[in-house]
């Protein structure tokens, strides 16, 4: 039952990709209808997931498997369990809202169709991550989210800032993706499988394997870059260059959670490693505290939210690192809570930007009267973020404190968490209250409420946070318990409640609020000092290191391009000949090959004539003073070689050689007029050196030919082709049969290369054809046989 539901879900997703491709067309045809129609896809996924929820609550999991590349161990395995389901609900639910919101937010934008298409593609990829059961499959979806994120951050690609941020995000998460792939490969080496349930089943074996720490650290690298953990956190605030709906969806609610999700998914596999807890808790705490202090230095609504997102991700990694059932339960709850309130806050920040034209909290104030719905949504979400009852955020914060109090070093952990939580409260006040009800910093804002598409989605998300908080038992049993069960690997009881009595946690919550609200009121004092502190530290920060690294890499690239790709055809030829001669010559010397001449037929008289023609022509080419004569001489060499092919019974080669020579002459005729006057430019020593290099190349080729003819190792291959050509491939012309059948894939590759070369030549002709510009030599469109 559940398996068939999962199969339908996967089919819906596959259809979704096709659907996404038509989004731009749909938008052009029906501007108004596009957003609601496109939102139907995430909605359909959402409903399907909801329908599967009861079975998953009963502890069922499902797996659907389609073979893809069985030889590589790559099969399309999809699993549905509590964790994937909850993640999927968030992705699809927020996805539907973001499509609706995006339609209103980017109303009239020329590239709105592209926005729809890429967001839907992203959603499909993200759901793929949530539902993958095979690590390779997960990796494909993982990279797809990086690419769609790149496209969406750079959505307004006319702005250099957006392009730079997109590039940075892609480099950081893409680099992490490579590490992740390596980690997966190591786990596959250990277990012989890419299936994650196989890994989980053999966790004990993995834990003692010497490669396991390396695999863990590589996977952690992938997760840390994706989930913006220190020191890779800097790409996320910069990613705020993206349109706000994208920030809300990718860079707070879903994509950045992929790293956390992966760690949770692999908890049964790697959670037993001794490295797990120290590595994850350190990383998480550093990110949590660092980012929450960085947040206090910001004045832009979106950057404030971005830094608190980073700190929330740090919290999640920290909780996963602790790894106790309580911590895992808290992580599951916090993940859902954060997605709801942060999504709502981002969307309302976008509405504020839309309604006033600014996101600067120093200028914003008192706009709540003009934008009541946005104010309600932001206020409600901020209450959840600050952790006030009866919202979901309150329950999550209580659980966080309960976890830290139970942990190994309660004083230190609780203290650090308190600092971070207080900073979160400060940001909640600055983002959710100050712009709407605070003193206006600027009288020329003219705020106005947008269309329902702009305030409906954030309000819905915020209300959901309230509803889930009001019915804690339902939330706990219905959603958090299956999630935790999937992480732990066995069923878990989750009892959530708003009121626990007078506990230390309640006291800590009150203290957090007090500290936070106090600090928030002192914004004018606090913010500049913290900003100055971080500015002083900036040269040491990872962002600066990143810039230096990228700058160095680019300098290296342009240096080596200038050396190797200098545009002189003669240098290219020289490098190729000398490298080949050096490498092949070295091999011949090292292998200590002795050269004995194989028995040969005595040459016939016409052989002497042909060789004589070739040698004379080759010598005369070097002495020629006229370009036409040179072309004619080169042509006579080519035709003589063709005749040799003919004499030694290779008519196919001869024909091709004739045709190529003919076309080469035509080519030369066409470019002849464009070339500068034929003159001798190189000095005599250079020419002598060239003679030496040419002789080296020629000698090497001769040597190789002699060696090949001595070994005649191809005899068996030739016999095979001769024997099987007619019977297996229906053809008597072995050369052609090899080309189109036995080695057809090679030929397919070759003609593709040929087509690409033609595109290159064409663009060079178009670019270099302008008068006064130097015309480069055009490579021959031939191929070697």
Residues of this chain that interact with other proteins (CB under 8 A) are 651-652, 655-656, 659-660, 662-663, 666-667, 669-671, 673-674, 729-733, 735-737, 739-741, 744-745, 747-748, 751-752, 754-755, 757-759, 761-762, 765-766, 769, 778, 781, 783
CA gap 345, 363 in Å, rounded: 18
Nearer to other proteins, 580 or 747 (CB): 747
Both structure tokens of 256: 């950045």
Nearer to other proteins, 607 or 652 (CB): 652
Instruction: Find the shortest distance in angstroms from Cβ 740 to other proteins.
Output: 4
Selection from 216, 265, 259 nearest residue 486 by Cα? 265
Nearer to other proteins, 11 or 754 (CB): 754
Instruction: Find the shortest distance in angstroms from Cβ 651 to other proteins.
Output: 5
Nearer to other proteins, 54 or 749 (CB): 749
Helices (H), 591-683: 605-623, 627-647, 651-672
Instruction: Find the shortest distance in angstroms from Cβ 21 to other proteins.
Output: 19
Instruction: Find the shortest distance in angstroms from Cβ 687 to other proteins.
Output: 30
Selection from 176, 76, 170 nearest residue 128 by Cα? 76
Q: Region of 74 please: left (phi>0), alpha (psi -120 to 50) or beta.
A: beta
Is-contact 468 389, C-beta < 8 A? no
Instruction: Find the shortest distance in angstroms from Cβ 783 to other proteins.
Output: 8
Nearer to other proteins, 583 or 755 (CB): 755
Q: Provide the CA 776 distance to its chain's centre, in angstroms.
A: 37
CA gap 752, 398 in Å, rounded: 62
CA gap 21, 264 in Å, rounded: 32
* Secondary structure, 3-state, 487-516: HHCCCCCCCCCCCCCCCHHHHHHHHHHHHH
Selection from 246, 241, 236, 251 nearest residue 161 by Cα? 241
Nearer to other proteins, 40 or 675 (CB): 675
Selection from 127, 100, 131 nearest residue 115 by Cα? 100
Cα dist. 61→11, 84, 494 in Å?
18, 10, 19
Instruction: Find the shortest distance in angstroms from Cβ 728 to other proteins.
Output: 8
Instruction: Find the shortest distance in angstroms from Cβ 774 to other proteins.
Output: 14
Instruction: Find the shortest distance in angstroms from Cβ 285 to other proteins.
Output: 52
Helix (H, G, I), strand (E, B) or coil at 365: coil
Nearer to other proteins, 71 or 502 (CB): 71
Instruction: Find the shortest distance in angstroms from Cβ 731 to other proteins.
Output: 4
Nearer to other proteins, 353 or 661 (CB): 661
Nearer to other proteins, 573 or 659 (CB): 659
Nearer to other proteins, 696 or 775 (CB): 775
Nearer to other proteins, 686 or 728 (CB): 728
Nearer to other proteins, 503 or 664 (CB): 664
Instruction: Find the shortest distance in angstroms from Cβ 770 to other proteins.
Output: 10
Which residues make beta-bridge pairs with 360? 300
Could you please report the per-residue DSSP string of 71-137?
GGTEEEEEEE-HHHHHHHHHHHHHHHHHHHHHHHHTTT-TTHHHHHHHHHHHHHHHHHHHHB-BHHH
Instruction: Find the shortest distance in angstroms from Cβ 662 to other proteins.
Output: 5
Buried b / exposed e over 395-414, threshold 16 CB at 10 Å, is bbbbbbbbbbbebeeeeebb
Nearer to other proteins, 590 or 759 (CB): 759
CA gap 486, 559 in Å, rounded: 52
Nearer to other proteins, 632 or 740 (CB): 740
CA gap 211, 221 in Å, rounded: 16
Is-contact 392 474, C-beta < 8 A? no
Nearer to other proteins, 446 or 674 (CB): 674
Instruction: Find the shortest distance in angstroms from Cβ 782 to other proteins.
Output: 9
Nearer to other proteins, 54 or 768 (CB): 768
Is-contact 49 89, C-beta < 8 A? yes
Contacts of 222 (CB under 8 A, 6+ apart): 142, 176, 177, 179, 180, 181, 183, 259, 262
Instruction: Find the shortest distance in angstroms from Cβ 658 to other proteins.
Output: 9
Contacts of 604 (CB under 8 A, 6+ apart): none
Nearer to other proteins, 591 or 732 (CB): 732
Instruction: Count Cβ atoms below 10 Å from residue 416 Cβ, excluding itself.
Output: 18
Both structure tokens of 761: 């030549």
Selection from 17, 32, 18, 19 nearest residue 112 by Cα? 32
* Secondary structure, 3-state, 227-278: CCCCCCCCHHHHHHHCCHHHHHHHHHHCCCHHHHHHHHHCHHHHCCCCCHHH
DSSP assignment, residue 167?
H
Instruction: Find the shortest distance in angstroms from Cβ 765 to other proteins.
Output: 5
Selection from 537, 301, 249, 312 nearest residue 431 by Cα? 301
Q: Region of 409 please: left (phi>0), alpha (psi -120 to 50) or beta.
A: beta
Instruction: Find the shortest distance in angstroms from Cβ 19 to other proteins.
Output: 24
- Considering all CA atoms of the chain, what is the largest pairwise distance in Å, rounded to the nearest integer? 112
Cα dist. 644→26, 37, 736 in Å?
63, 69, 20
Instruction: Find the shortest distance in angstroms from Cβ 638 to other proteins.
Output: 13
Instruction: Find the shortest distance in angstroms from Cβ 632 to other proteins.
Output: 17
DSSP assignment, residue 743?
T
Residue that has been written with the tokens 């000398």 in this structure:
578
Selection from 413, 433, 341 nearest residue 381 by Cα? 341
Instruction: Find the shortest distance in angstroms from Cβ 734 to other proteins.
Output: 10
Nearer to other proteins, 550 or 729 (CB): 729
């Amino acid at each position: 039952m559940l398996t068939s539901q999962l199969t339908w879900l996967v089919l819906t997703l596959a259809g979704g990709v096709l659907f996404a491709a038509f989004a731009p067309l749909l938008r052009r045809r029906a501007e108004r209808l596009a957003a609601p129609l496109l939102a139907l896809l995430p909605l359909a996924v959402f409903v399907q997931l909801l329908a599967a929820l009861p079975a998953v609550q009963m502890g069922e999991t499902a797996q659907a498997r389609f073979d893809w590349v069985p030889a590589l161990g790559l099969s399309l395995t999809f699993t549905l369990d509590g964790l994937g389901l909850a993640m999927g609900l968030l992705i699809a639910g927020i996805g539907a809202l973001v499509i609706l919101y995006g339609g209103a937010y980017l109303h009239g934008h020329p590239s709105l169709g592209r926005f729809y298409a890429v967001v839907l593609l992203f959603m499909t990829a993200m759901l793929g991550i949530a539902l993958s059961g095979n690590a390779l499959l997960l990796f494909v979806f993982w990279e797809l989210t990086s690419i769609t994120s790149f496209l969406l951050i750079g959505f307004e690609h006319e702005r250099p800032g957006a392009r730079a941020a997109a590039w940075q995000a892609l480099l950081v998460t893409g680099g992490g993706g490579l590490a992740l792939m390596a980690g997966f490969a190591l786990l596959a080496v250990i277990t012989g499988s890419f299936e994650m349930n196989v890994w989980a089943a053999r966790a004990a074996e993995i834990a003692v394997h010497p490669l396991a720490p390396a695999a863990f650290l590589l996977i952690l690298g992938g997760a840390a870059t994706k989930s913006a953990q220190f020191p890779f956190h800097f790409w996320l605030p910069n990613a705020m260059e993206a349109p706000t709906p994208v920030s809300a969806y990718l860079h707070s609610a879903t994509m950045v959670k992929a790293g956390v999700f992966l760690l949770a998914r692999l908890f049964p596999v790697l959670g037993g490693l001794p490295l797990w807890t120290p590595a994850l808790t350190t990383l998480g705490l550093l990110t949590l505290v660092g980012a929450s202090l960085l947040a206090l230095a910001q004045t832009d609504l979106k950057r404030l939210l971005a830094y608190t997102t980073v700190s929330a991700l740090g919290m999640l990694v920290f909780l996963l690192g602790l790894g106790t059932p309580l911590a895992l339960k808290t992580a599951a709850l916090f993940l859902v809570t954060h997605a709801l309130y942060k999504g709502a806050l981002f969307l309302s920040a976008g509405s504020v930007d839309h309604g006033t034209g600014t996101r600067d909290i120093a200028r914003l104030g008192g706009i709540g009267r003009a934008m009541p719905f946005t104010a309600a949504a932001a206020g409600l979400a901020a209450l959840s973020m600050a952790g006030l009852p009866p919202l979901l955020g309150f329950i999550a914060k209580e659980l966080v404190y309960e976890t830290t109090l139970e942990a190994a070093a309660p004083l230190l952990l609780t203290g650090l968490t308190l600092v971070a939580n207080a900073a979160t409260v400060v940001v909640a006040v600055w983002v959710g209250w100050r712009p709407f009800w605070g003193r206006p910093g600027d009288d020329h804002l003219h705020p106005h409420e947008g269309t329902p598409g702009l305030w409906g989605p954030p309000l819905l998300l915020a209300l959901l946070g309230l509803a889930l908080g009001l019915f804690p038992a339902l939330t706990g049993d219905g959603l958090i318990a299956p999630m935790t069960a999937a992480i732990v690997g066995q069923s878990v009881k989750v009892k959530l409640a708003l009121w626990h009595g007078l506990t230390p946690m309640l006291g800590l919550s009150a203290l957090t609020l007090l500290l936070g609200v106090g600090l928030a009121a002192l914004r004018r004092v606090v913010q500049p000092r913290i900003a100055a502190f971080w500015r002083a530290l900036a040269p040491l920060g990872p962002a600066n290191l990143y810039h230096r690294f990228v700058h160095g890499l680019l300098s290296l690239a342009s240096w080596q391009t200038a050396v190797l790709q200098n545009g002189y055809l003669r240098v290219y030829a020289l490098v190729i000949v000398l490298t080949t001669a050096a490498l092949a010559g070295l091999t011949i010397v090292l292998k200590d090959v002795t050269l004995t001449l194989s028995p040969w037929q005595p040459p016939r008289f016409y052989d002497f004539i042909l060789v004589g023609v070739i040698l004379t022509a080759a010598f005369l080419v070097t002495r020629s003073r006229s370009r036409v004569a040179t072309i004619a001489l080169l042509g006579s060499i080519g035709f003589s070689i063709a005749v040799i092919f003919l004499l030694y019974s290779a008519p196919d080669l001869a024909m091709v050689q004739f045709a190529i020579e003919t076309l080469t002459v035509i080519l030369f005729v066409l470019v002849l007029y464009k070339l500068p006057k034929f003159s001798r430019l190189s000095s005599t020593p250079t020419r002598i050196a060239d003679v030496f290099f040419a002789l080296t190349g020629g000698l090497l080729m001769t040597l190789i030919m002699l060696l090949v003819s001595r070994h005649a190792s191809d005899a068996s291959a030739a016999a095979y082709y001769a024997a099987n050509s007619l019977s297996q491939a229906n053809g008597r012309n072995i050369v052609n049969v090899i080309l189109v059948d036995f080695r057809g894939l090679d030929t397919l590759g070759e003609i593709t290369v040929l087509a690409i070369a033609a595109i290159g030549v064409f663009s060079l002709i178009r670019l270099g054809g302008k008068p006064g510009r130097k015309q480069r030599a055009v490579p021959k469109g031939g191929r070697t046989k």
